[in-house]
């Protein structure tokens, strides 16, 4: 249907901002604040449209913007949030203090998306790309085949892992997809509202949801790109997510501490004696006691039970050695990413991360999705509870 331009473009400047323009905008906003972007440029003496001013301010000039490279944990967060929220960059940015939606979007498109593709993971659905089920292409494209770890793998057993995706898992994904594509948007809204109400009334939606999902006894691999296989099938419809820490957007928004407040980039090394994994585990476990058994997803590449790994993979994997000691009770979790994350100097290479996640890809066929798990029922239960 179109709409009128946001402003009269005649005589308005476009393109890169000059330092003088920046200063004018900063001065004006510091003095008057921002509010009416339409009139702001005129009042500030800028030959720009309000939209341009807003963009410049929110994406660049804002004082609380954190610049510089994304930390590994920020990257993890982005991937995890994207698996839930899809391309809702503003919502993702809201969980990453100091980062703008534009910045995150750019980072996703230029770095993360490519890496996921290299890993054979669909960056949209966060599920293994079915067109890559051809093992030769996987081996050809993935570093899995090139890493020391994989070179030590038992390749026959690897081949025996086909099909890559458990048919039950695909069934669940398909079912979820059809459910989430329900044209009635009010149902998901109701779910959001209900969960919000649960949170506000002190009931843990995590626990409640875990009860619903109790039939799923098998932990989902930690790699978020895997955990969301059955849930993030579309960008906007994955509101109920039985296999990820956030079950829907409402919960995400209502519990800003669950992710947004973990130590930021600036103090990423300051976990005390904790690894990030431990910290992250505590964060989730503290709000969802008893959930571990049914939902041990603690973060992207952050927690998967060894018991569900193919021994031929895990035993020979370099990530075994990479599983730095988390001390005591955490040993049942692969502790790759966060443990290295806590020591930036030993940040994993892209290849290492890919290899690790590729291993998790291999684990997906281990899932046992009970036939009696009716996703539609699950959705209905969410709506009715």
- 51 or 171, CB closer to DNA? 51
Span from 109-117, 128-136, 174-182, 209-217 in contact with DNA (CB under 7 A): 109-117
Give min distance, CB of 48 to DNA, in A.
Answer: 7
State which of residues 55, 130, 285, 381 lies at the interface with DNA (CB under 7 A): 55
For position 146 contacting DNA by CB under 7 A, the verdict is no
What token pair was written down for 303? 């927690």
For position 11 contacting DNA by CB under 7 A, the verdict is no
CA–CA dist 196, 186 (Å, integer): 15
- 117 or 135, CB closer to DNA? 117
- 37 or 246, CB closer to DNA? 37
Q: Are 342 and 280 in contact (CB under 8 A)?
A: no
Give min distance, CB of 55 to DNA, in A.
Answer: 5
Span from 50-58, 193-201, 238-246, 273-281 in contact with DNA (CB under 7 A): 50-58
Measured CA to CA in angstroms, residue 72 lies from 65, 78, 287, 347 at distances of: 18, 10, 24, 8
Q: Which helix (H) or strand (E) holds 264?
A: none
Give min distance, CB of 120 to DNA, in A.
Answer: 18
Size of the site for DNA (CB under 7 A): 39
Q: Which residue, 245, 321, 212, is CA-closest to 79?
A: 245
CA–CA dist 129, 218 (Å, integer): 22
- Binding to DNA (CB under 7 A) within 177-236 occurs at 235
What token pair was written down for 140? 């050809």
State which of residues 28, 44, 46, 56 lies at the interface with DNA (CB under 7 A): 56
Query: Sign of torsion, CA 29 32 34 40?
Result: negative
State which of residues 26, 62, 66, 90 lies at the interface with DNA (CB under 7 A): 90
What token pair was written down for 308? 């569900």
- 35 or 272, CB closer to DNA? 35
For position 102 contacting DNA by CB under 7 A, the verdict is yes
Contacts of 123 (CB under 8 A, 6+ apart): 82, 108, 112, 113, 116, 117
Buried b (16+ CB within 10 A) or exposed e, 283-306: bbeebbeebbebbbbbbbbbbbbe
Query: Could you give the string, one character per residue 232-251, with x where binding to DNA holds by CB under 7 A and - elsewhere?
Result: ---x----------------
Binding site for DNA (CB under 7 A): 1-4, 6, 13-17, 35-38, 48, 50-52, 54-56, 59-60, 87-91, 101-103, 105-107, 109-111, 114, 235
């Amino acid at each position: 249907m179109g709409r009128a331009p946001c402003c009269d473009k005649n005589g308005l400047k476009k393109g890169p901002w000059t330092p003088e323009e920046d200063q004018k905008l900063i001065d004006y906003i510091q003095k008057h604040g921002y509010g009416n972007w339409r009139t702001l440029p005129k009042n500030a003496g800028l030959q720009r449209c309000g939209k341009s001013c807003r963009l410049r301010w929110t994406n660049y000039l804002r004082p609380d913007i954190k610049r510089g490279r994304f930390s590994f944990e920020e990257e993890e967060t982005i991937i995890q949030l994207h698996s839930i929220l899809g391309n809702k960059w503003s919502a993702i940015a809201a969980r990453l203090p100091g980062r703008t939606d534009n910045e995150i979007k750019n980072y996703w498109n230029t770095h993360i998306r490519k890496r996921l593709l290299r890993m054979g993971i669909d960056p949209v659905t966060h599920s293994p790309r079915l067109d890559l089920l051809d093992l030769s292409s996987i081996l050809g494209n993935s570093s899995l085949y090139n890493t020391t770890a994989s070179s030590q793998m038992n390749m026959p057993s690897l081949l025996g892992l086909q099909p890559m995706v458990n048919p039950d898992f695909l069934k669940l994904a398909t079912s979820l997809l059809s459910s989430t594509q329900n044209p009635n948007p009010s149902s998901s809204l109701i779910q959001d509202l209900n969960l919000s109400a649960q949170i506000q009334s002190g009931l843990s939606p995590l626990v409640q949801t875990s009860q619903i999902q109790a039939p799923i006894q098998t932990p989902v691999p930690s790699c978020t790109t895997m955990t969301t296989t059955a849930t993030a099938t579309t960008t906007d419809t994955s509101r109920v997510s039985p296999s990820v820490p956030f079950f829907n957007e409402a919960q995400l928004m209502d519990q800003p501490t669950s992710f947004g407040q973990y130590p930021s980039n600036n103090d990423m090394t300051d976990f005390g004696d904790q690894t990030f994994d431990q910290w992250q585990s505590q964060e989730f476990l503290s709000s969802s006691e008893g959930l571990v058994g049914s939902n041990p997803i603690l973060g992207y590449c952050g927690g998967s039970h060894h018991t569900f790994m193919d021994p031929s993979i895990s035993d020979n994997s370099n990530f075994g050695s990479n599983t730095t000691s988390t001390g005591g009770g955490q040993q049942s979790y692969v502790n790759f990413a966060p443990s290295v994350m806590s020591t930036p100097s030993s940040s994993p290479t892209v290849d290492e991360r890919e290899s690790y996640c590729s291993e998790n890809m291999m684990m997906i066929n281990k899932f046992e999705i009970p036939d009696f798990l009716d996703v539609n029922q699950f959705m209905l239960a969410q709506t009715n509870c």
